[in-house]
């Protein structure tokens, strides 16, 4: 399981030119699910995401987590995070979990995040979405439940 984590001052998700969800200060998390991911991957990444210390303290040091600042979270499914571009010119998505299995995993990830009692918003699984965001910092990080970058 893989996450692209962006610290944002705001983010909006639009579907068919209609605002679907939005957050203020917090994290936009793009979630990719690999074919062999399990609930243990979800538990690891949700805990890491919620408790990641990427928000400034009173000395402007990244020392606070989403929980510490009562921040908001926007979780968007993005299978293209498992696009393999090493061969040819067209990405291969053979490592991404099939949609019929990935959707329940995505929903489990969202529910686990909601258990922390934060404002959690989502995208719509398999929809074409437009995301407008203000990356605060900018701060963008990659998290993976299996590999070290």
Q: Is residue 20 part of a domain?
A: yes
Report d(CA 46, CA 42) in Å as an integer. 6
Residue from 80, 122, 134, 140 carrying the catalytic annotation: 80
Q: Is 140 a catalytic residue?
A: no
Which tens digit of pLDDT belongs to each residue from 110-131?
A: 999 999 999 999 999 999 999 9
Which of 89, 87, 53 has its CA nearest to residue 69? 53
Report d(CA 146, CA 93) in Å as an integer. 18
Q: What is the number of structural domains in the chain?
A: 1
User: Is residue 148 very low, low, confident or very high in pLDDT (cuts 50, 70, 90)?
Assistant: low
Q: Is residue 117 part of a domain?
A: yes
pLDDT at residue 115, rounded to an integer: 98
Q: Is residue 128 part of a domain?
A: yes
Instruction: Using the structure block, give the residue that is written with the tokens 């571009």.
Output: 85
pLDDT at residue 109, rounded to an integer: 98
Which tens digit of pLDDT belongs to each residue from 3-58?
A: 999 999 999 999 999 999 999 999 999 999 999 999 999 999 999 999 999 999 99
DSSP-derived 3-state class of residue 65: coil
Domain hosting residue 104, numbered range: 2-144
Q: Is residue 149 part of a domain?
A: no
Identify the CATH number of the domain in which residue 118 sits. 3.50.80.10
pLDDT at residue 38, rounded to an integer: 97
Q: Is residue 21 part of a domain?
A: yes
pLDDT at residue 88, rounded to an integer: 92
Residue 60 carries which DSSP code?
S
pLDDT at residue 116, rounded to an integer: 97
Q: Is residue 81 part of a domain?
A: yes
Report d(CA 124, CA 103) in Å as an integer. 10
pLDDT at residue 139, rounded to an integer: 98
Which tens digit of pLDDT belongs to each residue from 55-103?
A: 999 999 999 999 999 999 999 999 999 999 999 999 999 999 999 999 9
By CB atoms closer than 10 A (0-12, 13-18, 19+), residue 4 is middle
Is residue 149 scored above 60 in pLDDT? no
């Amino acid at each position: 399981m893989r996450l692209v984590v962006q610290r944002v001052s705001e983010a909006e998700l639009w579907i068919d030119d209609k605002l679907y969800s939005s957050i203020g200060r917090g994290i936009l998390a793009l979630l990719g699910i690999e074919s062999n991911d399990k609930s243990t991957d979800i538990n690891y990444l949700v805990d890491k995401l919620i408790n990641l210390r990427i928000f400034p303290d009173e000395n402007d040091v990244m020392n606070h987590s989403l929980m510490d600042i009562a921040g908001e979270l926007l979780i968007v499914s993005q299978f293209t995070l498992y696009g393999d571009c090493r061969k040819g010119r067209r990405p291969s998505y053979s490592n991404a979990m099939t949609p019929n299995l990935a959707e329940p995993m995505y929903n489990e990830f969202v529910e686990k995040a909601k258990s922390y009692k934060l404002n959690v918003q989502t995208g719509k699984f398999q929809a074409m979405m437009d995301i407008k965001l203000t990356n605060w910092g900018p701060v963008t990080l990659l998290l993976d439940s299996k590999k070290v970058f």
